[in-house]
Amino acid sequence: MPAAVKRGALGSGRPVAAAFIFFALVCGAALSLATGGRSDVGLGTLWALIAGQGDEIARLPMATMLDLRLPRAAVAALLGVNLSLAGLILQAVTRNPLASPGILGINQGAALGLVAALAFPGAAGLALDGMAIAGALGAGAVTFAIAGGFSGRIDPVRMVLGGVAVGAFAYGAVRFAYTLEDELARSIVRWTVGDIGDMRWSDARPLALWSLGGGVMTFLLAHRLNMMSLGEVASRGLGADPRWTLLLGAVVATALAGVSVTVAGPIAFVGLVVPHVARALFGGDHRVLVPVSAGLGAALMLCADGLSKLLAAPAEVPVGLVAALIGAPYFLYLTMFSEALE
């Protein structure tokens, strides 16, 4: 049986997947919402808010939960959805288990596009999210070109090396922007570490629309992604041109990564780790992996958000650093043990 359709440890049943994701999301959400600077704000406050209870004394804690913690948790979950789906798509269309927005330089390219929009406002006629997506697309195109993707044959090693080179160049350009103007440096510094401490509902709502659209598009591509896992020849023989699958998948993945960078900066390793965990648990059917990866990505980022408020309490660690601490050891594991790359 091809690796793409093997069952994972928990099988590929949708009810099992739904129950597992629900449990992971509940645990992650509880950790995120129960932690923070105010010790008098916790899950009891959330319950009182839902039940419509509370008095004048409890009004401030309830406002803290409604206006600060809930939108922050929502943004964390949506970022996990976007980055996980982007990683799942990239690993499928490139048939490279090390592919992810961070490894291929897409996150860093999006950050460079964002910095360009801040340094030269209105020059390209695009909003911040548009420039971030354009930067992500540009970085992805260069990485694919280095890997030979436009010639129809992608070299996995050259893709990773090209992504590292593109990412290093983009990151260097972002760091150089710090020297241009102090106000510009203050405007972009939070995007370099993945900080979501000041998120509000105005940030969560547009991100939710992008996540919904990207999730729908990814699910519609799931059948094509299954055929890509069988190889380019088999995919073409089954009526799915692999070049179109690569193009559509790359556009969706870079859009999801670009929008995420606009909100929180280049958060690394989420898009690498989550698809591997999803495949290990539920097999390789992308019709199941799409919702599973989205749910696990949201749960991972919710847990990272909660830990970011606990590790250095009462101060906070940027959630991007916590995500890197979780994902970097797994990346090393993947590169050291070949059986994890099969």
Query: 148-191 pLDDT, tens per residue?
Result: 766 656 777 787 788 889 988 988 888 887 777 766 676 666 66
pLDDT at 233: 60
Annotate 208-239 with DSSP letters as a single string: HHHHHHHHHHHHHTHHHHHHHTT-HHHHHHTT
pLDDT at 3: 43
User: Using CA of residue 299, residue 302, residue 308, residue 313, what is the dihedral sign?
Assistant: negative
The amino acid that residue 82 corresponds to is N
Q: Could you tell me the maximum CA-CA distance found in the chain, to the nearest angstrom?
A: 68
Contacts of 232 (CB under 8 A, 6+ apart): 152, 242
What confidence score (pLDDT) does residue 235 get?
64
* Below-70 pLDDT ranges, the chain: 1-14, 38-62, 122-125, 149-153, 182-184, 186-193, 230-240, 337-342
What are 273-305's pLDDT values in tens digits? 999 889 888 888 899 999 999 999 999 999 999
* pTM strictly above 0.95: no
Residue 56 tokens read as 């004048």
- Domains for the chain: give ranges and CATH numbers: 3-35+80-341 (1.10.3470.10), 41-66 (no CATH)
**pLDDT at residue number 124:** 60
DSSP conformation letters of 154-177: --HHHHHHHHHHHHHHHHHHHHHH
Task: Tell the residue number behind the tokens 């490279």, with chain if given.
Answer: 96
Cβ contacts of 46-50, under 8 Å, gap ≥ 24: 46/70
Instruction: Give the pLDDT confidence score for residue 51 in this predicted structure.
Output: 66
- Taking the CB of residue 24, how many other CB atoms lie within 10 A of it? 18
Which tens digits make up the pLDDT trace of 218-234?
Answer: 999 998 888 877 666 66
Mean pLDDT, rounded, of the chain: 80
Identify the pLDDT of residue 303.
Answer: 93
Which two structure tokens, joined as six digits, stand for 8? 């994972």
Q: How many angstroms separate the CA atoms of 270 and 133, rounded?
A: 18
What is the pLDDT, as a whole number, of residue 25? 92
Token pair belonging to 135 = 């930067």
pLDDT of residue 177: 77
